[in-house]
Amino acid sequence: MLKDVGPVGVIGAGSWGTTLAHVLASKGLKVNLWVFEEELCETIRRTGENSIYLPGYRLHQGVCALSALDEVTAASRLLIMVVPSHVYRGVVKRMLPHLREDAIVVNATKGIESDTLLTMSGIWKELLPKRNRVQLLCLSGPSFAREVIAGIPTAVTLAGQNLKITRQVQQVLSTARFRVYSSLDVIGVEVAGASKNVIALAAGACDGLSFGYNARAALITRGLAEISRLGVKMGAHPLTFSGLAGIGDLLLTCTGDLSRNRTVGMQLGQGRKLSEILGGMRQVAEGVITAKSIHSLAVKMDVEMPISERVYRVLYEDKDPLLVVRELMDRDLKHEMEYDPEIYAVNDKSAAYRL
**273 labelled catalytic:** no
Angle in degrees, 0-180, between the axes of helices 306-316 and 213-233, rounded to the nearest 10: 100
Instruction: Give per-residue burial for 320-344: e unless 16+ CB within 10 Å, then b.
Output: ebeebbeeeeeeeeeeeeeeeeeee
Tell me the backbone φ, ψ of residue 31, rounded to 5 degrees.
-130, 125
Report in angstroms the alpha-carbon separations of 129 from 135, 160, 165, 245. Answer: 13, 19, 20, 29
The answer to whether residues 297 and 286 touch, using CB atoms and an 8 Å cutoff, is no
DSSP, collapsed to helix, strand or coil, labels residue 29 as coil
DSSP letter string, 269-322: HTT--HHHHHHT-SS--HHHHHHHHHHHHHHHHT---HHHHHHHHHHHS---HH
Question: Which residue in the list 110, 196, 273, 300 is annotated as catalytic?
Answer: 196
Task: Name beta bridge partners: 156.
Answer: 180
Tell me which residues are annotated as active site: 196
